[in-house]
Amino acid sequence: MIPTAVVSARGEQRIRGGHPWIFASDVDDVAAEGGVVVEVLGPRQRFLGRALYSEQSQITLRMLTRDDEDVDEGFWRRRIQAAIDYRTSLNIKATAYRLVHAEADLLPSLIVDRYGDVLVVQALSQAMDRQLPALVPMLVEQVGATGVLARNDPRVRLLEGLEQRVEVLFGNVPDLITVHESDVEYEVDPRHGQKTDLFLDQRENREAAALYARGRMLDCFSYHGGFALRLAGHCDTAEAIDISADAVSRIGANAVRNKLTNLQAREANVFDELRRLEQAGEHYDTVVLDPPAFAKNKASVPKALAGYKDINLRALRLLNPGGYLLTCSCSYNVDEATFAETIYEASIDSRVSVTVVEKRMQGRDHPVLLGVPETYYLKCFIVRRVA
Ligand SMILES: C[S@@+](CC[C@H](N)C(=O)[O-])C[C@H]1O[C@@H](n2cnc3c(N)ncnc32)[C@H](O)[C@@H]1O
């Protein structure tokens, strides 16, 4: 018997609109065990495609194809190869980048990050978790990887009825891996860092910021110093602030590794620290704001916007005329227009006139699938204080 899932008229409309996610409320009938690939049928039994089926998740179906093609070994190989070929075409000047970006690479719920010869994978749905043992040898072969680590510890796996675990799936995965972005070396701890350890989605924004960075620089929410390390060589002095003691200690080690003597890192809450610096009359020529997602869901958007406004307002006040602010939001629930409005409000309240120098987003190795707003999460503006 072919495993099938029958969707409602609204589900069919969503599939025809190109969205890969079909929610439980739009799935009328399923004849399949959890975690398999199902044939998706419309309310009148019309074939709509094939999808990953999750029996517990609110995202019940994740469309793989709208064509009547087999989802066999050849199918997975072609999809993975297409994702790899795209990254090769980008001519990335780094040894760490995203190789597979889930829905946007038509490989829903699969993340693959490359750290040199090691791949770090995440399977974020029941069916992708089940596919993983078959996909790992293909990835190893297609990339020539020497090790594969599963960072299957994100909490979203619990919604899929999956356990959280970190394990080596292939070869040798060292505790620490050295990678580089442009001329900067970073030490990566793939088993323990946030996400898969580097914020790879900011790589191109770090490059862009290097064009403007100068003078006295402040990197807020610095984590392991992604921006601070990349920009310090362009600045007289660089300061990095993060609330995590562990992150701050890693910045120090990375600064030594890159022979940067003008970079200081300190542990502090950015909200308090920006106030303190303002009261102390400090000024900077370059400020970076890269906070965590303040709006984890729709209900938290108003509070998140107040947070974004507060830090942007204070950062603008700290800027010298002619100085640059690179400001980000990685909250999917705060869209680009709303974030832009928040920066505008911050500029009004701080009585600082700014021009938008660049409007940016997540790096091209984290593509956005049109029609799927969930894949556009990172907004980044580079603004310049005019007066
Ligand atoms: C998106 S990450 C920053 C990534 C970093 N810019 C990079 O390029 O690698 C956000 C960081 O903010 C830190 N953080 C969260 N809340 C904070 C707060 N109130 N004050 C300072 N740091 C905070 C987290 O520890 C985390 O390292």
Same domain? 307 vs 338:
yes
Same domain? 165 vs 225:
no
pLDDT band at 1 (very low <50, low <70, confident <90, very high): confident
Q: Does residue 291 lie within any of the structural domains?
A: yes
CB 316 within 8 A of CB 346: yes
Sign of CA dihedral 105, 102, 363, 236: negative
Same domain? 264 vs 142:
no
Q: What pLDDT is stored for residue 193 in this prediction?
A: 81
CA distance 23 to 58: 6
pLDDT band at 334 (very low <50, low <70, confident <90, very high): very high
Same domain? 222 vs 262:
yes
Q: Does residue 379 lie within any of the structural domains?
A: yes
Share of the chain above pLDDT 90, in %: 95
For residue range 185-208, list pLDDT tens digits in order. Answer: 999 999 998 787 889 999 999 999
The yes-or-no answer on residue 380 being catalytic is no
Same domain? 314 vs 378:
yes
Same domain? 138 vs 212:
no
For residue range 113-137, list pLDDT tens digits in order. Answer: 999 999 999 999 999 999 999 999 9
Nearest Cα residue to 241 out of 209, 218, 213, 217: 218
For residue range 48-87, list pLDDT tens digits in order. Answer: 999 999 999 999 999 999 999 999 999 999 999 999 999 9
Across residues 232-237, what is the average pLDDT? 97
For residue range 375-387, list pLDDT tens digits in order. Answer: 999 999 999 999 7
Q: Distance from CA of residue 362 to its chain's centroid? A: 7
Domain that holds residue 47: 4-65
How many A from CA of 134 to the centre of ligand 1? 35
Q: Which atom of ligand 1 is nearest to the CA of 330?
A: 1
Strand boundaries in the chain, DSSP class E: 4-7, 21-23, 27-31, 37-41, 47-53, 59-65, 96-101, 110-115, 118-123, 147-152, 165-171, 177-181, 184-188, 216-220, 237-242, 263-267, 284-289, 319-329, 354-361, 379-385
pLDDT band at 109 (very low <50, low <70, confident <90, very high): very high
For residue range 237-283, list pLDDT tens digits in order. Answer: 999 999 999 999 999 999 999 999 999 999 999 999 999 999 999 99
User: Which CATH number covers residue 250?
Assistant: 3.40.50.150
Q: What pLDDT is stored for residue 325 in this prediction?
A: 98
Same domain? 215 vs 352:
yes
Q: Is 129 exposed, middle or buried (0-12, 13-18, 19+ CB in 10 A)?
A: buried
pLDDT for residue 145 is more than 90: yes
Q: Does residue 186 lie within any of the structural domains?
A: no
User: Which CATH number covers residue 48?
Assistant: 2.30.130.10
CA 237 vs CA 180, 219, 224, 263, 286: distances in Å: 22, 11, 17, 6, 10
Residue type (1 letter), 216: R
Write down the residue that tokens 């791949």 correspond to.
119
Same domain? 116 vs 229:
no
How many A from CA of 71 to the centre of ligand 1? 40
Q: Is 299 exposed, middle or buried (0-12, 13-18, 19+ CB in 10 A)?
A: exposed
- The DSSP bridge partners found for residue 111 are 101, 122
Q: Which of 143, 177, 211 is the last residue in one of the domains?
A: 177
Q: Whose CA is nearest to atom 11 of ligand 1?
A: 221
Domain count of the fold of the chain: 3
Question: Strand pairing of 96-101 and 110-115?
Answer: antiparallel
Tell if the pTM clears 0.85, that is, is over it: yes
Q: Whose CA is nearest to atom 26 of ligand 1?
A: 223
Same domain? 213 vs 171:
no
Q: Does residue 193 lie within any of the structural domains?
A: no
Same domain? 150 vs 32:
no
